[in-house]
Amino acid sequence: MTMTADAPKKDDPAATSGDTILSLNNVEVVFNDVILVLRGMSLNARRGQITALLGANGAGKSTTLKAIAGLLRTEDGEITRGTVSYNDKDITRMAADRKVRDGIFLVMEGRGIVQDMTIRENLRLGAFTRKDADIEAEIAEVYKFFPRLQERKGLAGYLSGGEQQMLAIGRAMMAKPKLIMMDEPSMGLSPLLVKEVFGIIRRLNEELGISILLVEQNANMALKVADYGYIMENGKIVLDGTGAELVENEDVKEFYLGGGERRSFRNVKSFRRRKRWL
Amino acid sequence: MNTSLLLQLLVNGVIVGMLYGIVAMCFVLIYKSTQVVNFAQGEFVVLGAWVCLSLVVSMGLPFWLAFLFSLVFMMVFGILVQVILLRPLVGEPVISVIMATIGLSIFMQATMNWIFGNNAVRFPQVFDQATVSIGGLNVETAYLMSLVLSLVVMGMFFWFFQYSRWGLAMRATAWNQQIAQSLGISVGRVFAMAWAISAVVSGIAGVVIGLVSAVSNSLAIIGIKVFPAVIVGGLDSIVGAIIGGLTIGILENLAEFVDGQYLQIGNMYSVAPFYVLLIILMIKPYGLFGTPDIERV
């Protein structure tokens, strides 16, 4: 390879056009000093848009989000190369709590609800970084978004999966973030609830103007709401395009959406074979 | 049967039990929020007492001022212990952390022996009246103060964890560190704060115990004595720690009564709590108040 590893990607349309809120540049993440999980991951999330990041189990989607949020240390992981920038500022090594203060909020996989606290306490925790917040007014605001949460009493651990997801999103709203990253919000939910959750994601984006980086297994739903999508495999991006483009892509249809025609293995694997030089 | 002695011992039991309760609370606070078993808990208690005593005796400060200063000292001490000793051990195996706190306990014992000496020293007269009569019972003023302070500390703990921003943060950290971090909570600060609070409250307990009996290095045994209280309570429950402490305090004094009046074995006082501990662990291995996890399928 003749190009330097740190050179930005030239063929990525998002990199050259539009206002980028978050960008990853050739990020490499290593766990326990030996396990390479992200191998030159690059992506751009644009302001005011929904960006989807899709991929199979173990591709490194959650690791990507945790790397952005600065949560790798608790798992003995580390960004060894590349940069993460937010609003054109390098935040690769910024502490996790400062990132939240700056407006990046991660809704973790499995919702990350504190189950032995009440719904209100969970919501109050969301506003932890905002000392001067009018907590009562904002909780009322969240309840307007999710009327169902207001009716429920008791510990958050007893909420249904869908309600927990709503609580997690409500808690994210309390932090008044500019960018919400969501790790598989549809996990373990019934199809009807999945629809509801994606509706909420769209409302967050449209009504509150929050940029969203969405990690999903449910490619179908994700590409429907996303403005732009990335597909990752083995720790890097293998394909990207607008939501509409990706839905039409034969490879994506075959691997992620289902219902593609059966063809020879050689043809199907096309995007994996296409070399993507950095 | 000697009813008034029994009553007196029960009152003692409640008062001492409350003290066990708040020391146990310190222990649980650290265990719960930082996953460290603090074997130097007893030394923390003694250190608080020594600092206050020496401020009163050698510097001639009035008691309340000395008390206040010793609490400030304990706060700084707690933070230093966390930052210097335990922060580098984050992520290391439990056994290493336990070795570190045992080491701290030995180090503190030796240092306190060296600085404050080996003898028990009594506080000079602090209260104008040594005893107060309540409903016919003579209660030492120091005991009364102990009771009031214990209740105040418990009330403050309750308020802190229910209503304050950092209290919530501490609970979230206890639940899951990564989740806490994702909410913008600085886990390092929460850890330091847990140690600071624990050290301060230990200091309060130390001063009170010092007032009631006398200050000596052997008081550190309270660190071991609260183990039954902590385990009866369930290791991760603050309310459990208080109830465990009360249980042990009352049991101790009941054992003293039965022993003194009927059995004449001697020393039942210090052994009985551990018998009860064994029995409770056989019946309820997670303690009486160990919080059951909420499991949803």
Q: State the ipTM, two decimals.
A: 0.81
Written out in words, the top-level CATH class of the domain with range B3-122+148-283 is mainly alpha
What gap in Å lies between CA B105 and CA B70, rounded to an integer?
Answer: 19
Outline where DSSP puts E strands in chain B: 131-134, 137-140
List, for residues B49-74, the tens digit of each pLDDT value.
Answer: 999 999 998 888 888 999 999 999 99
Residue A155 lies in a domain: no
Per-residue pLDDT, A268: 52
Does B179 sit within 8 Å of A108, measured CB to CB? yes
A171 in contact with chain B, both atoms CB, cutoff 8 A: yes
The model's pLDDT over A163-222, given as tens digits with 9 standing for 90+, comes to 899 999 999 999 999 999 999 998 888 889 999 999 999 999 999 999 999 999 888 888
Q: Enter the DSSP assignment of B125.
A: P
Q: Is the pLDDT of residue A246 over 90?
A: no
Q: How many folded domains does chain A comprise?
A: 1
For chain B, give every domain's residue range.
Answer: 3-122+148-283
Is residue A162 one of the residues assigned to a domain?
A: no
Task: Please list, in sequence order, all residues whose beta carbon lies within 8 angstroms of the beta carbon of residue A199, skipping any fewer than 6 positions away.
Answer: none
The share of chain B scoring above pLDDT 90, in percent, equals: 37
B182 touches A: beta carbon within 8 Å: yes
Instruction: Please report which confidence band the pLDDT of residue A260 belongs to, taking 50, 70 and 90 as the band edges.
Output: low
Q: Which residue range is the domain that position A245 belongs to?
A: 20-118+175-273
How far off is chain B from A112, nearest CA to CA, in Å?
6
**Domain assignment present for A183:** yes
Give pLDDT tens digits for B210-269: 888 888 888 888 888 888 888 877 777 788 888 888 988 898 888 888 888 887 777 777
Question: Which are the contacts of A162, defined by CB distance < 8 A and separation ≥ 6?
Answer: A189, A190, A193, A196, A197
CATH number of the structural domain spanning residue A35: 3.40.50.300
Task: Determine contact, residues A172/A105, Cβ cutoff 8 Å.
Answer: yes
**Is B178 in CB contact (< 8 Å) with chain A?**
yes
Q: Would an 8 Å CB–CB cutoff place B76 in contact with chain A?
A: no
Cα dist. B194→A186, A227, B37, B170, B226 in Å? 36, 45, 13, 8, 18
User: What is the distance in angstroms between the Cα of A140 and the nearest Cα belonging to chain B?
Assistant: 18
> What is the helix (H) or strand (E) element at residue B255, kind and residue range?
helix B238-258
- Tell me the pLDDT band of A18, cut-offs 50, 70 and 90: low
Q: Which residues of chain A neighbour B175 with C-beta distances below 8 Å?
A: 114-117
Instruction: For residue A129, give the nearest of B171, B184, B294 by CB distance.
Output: B184
* A146 in a structural domain: no
Cα B283 to Cα B280: distance, rounded to the nearest angstrom: 5
CB of B138 within 8 Å of any CB in chain A? no
A194/chain B closest Cα distance in angstroms: 18
Tens of pLDDT, residue by residue over A122-147, are 999 999 998 877 888 889 989 988 88
A157 residue type, one letter: G
The answer to whether residue A127 is domain-embedded is: no
Q: Which two tokens stand for residue B36?
A: 């460290």
Within a domain: residue A231? yes
As a whole number of angstroms, the distance between CA B84 and CA B243 comes to: 33
Residue B291 contacts A, CB cutoff 8 Å: yes
Percent of chain A whose pLDDT exceeds 70: 86
- The phi and psi torsions of A51 (rounded to 5 degrees) equal -110, 130
Buried b (16+ CB within 10 A) or exposed e, A249-259: bebbbbbbbee
